[in-house]
Amino acid sequence: MRWRKQVPGTSFSLPTFSADGRTISLPVQEYRDRDAIWVFDADTGDARVAVRFEEPFDVVFRANRADDSHAFAVNRRTETSHVVLFDRFWTP
């Protein structure tokens, strides 16, 4: 094991590795009705927020990589489930 980190708000979240194995994405409940997607460096455990939602948003289980790891696809929980794609998440 390289590192170990407790991240509050991740009780039902599943970490997902990027295709190259360098990063790990993880949905994190930052507020009662609002999640974010955090990305961790697989070697160091350093974390950054990739996506922070301005409106109520509940990610179900994981943030899967898409578009050669340039985007995330998530299942959004509301009264009905929605699949949502976030493209080019690191571009300012």
pLDDT digits (tens, 9 = 90+) for 35-59: 899 999 999 999 999 988 888 888 8
On whether residue 53 sits in a domain, the answer given is yes
Task: Judge residue 23's burial from the number of C-beta atoms within 10 Å of its C-beta, 0-12 exposed, 13-18 middle, 19 or more buried.
Answer: buried
In a domain, 58, yes or no: yes
Asked whether residue 7 is domain-assigned, the answer is no
| Domain of residue 57, residue span | 16-87
Residue 11 lies in a domain: no
Residues 4-24 pLDDT 10s: 888 887 777 888 899 899 999
Q: Measured over all CA atoms, what is the biggest interatomic distance in the chain, rounded to whole angstroms?
A: 39
Whether residue 78 lies inside any domain: the answer is yes
Distance of CA 75 to the CA centre of its chain: 11
Find out whether 22 and 62 touch, Cβ atoms under 8 Å.
no
Residue 8 covered by a domain: no
Per the structure, how many domains does the chain have? 1
Q: Is residue 1 part of a domain?
A: no
Residue 6 maps to a domain: no
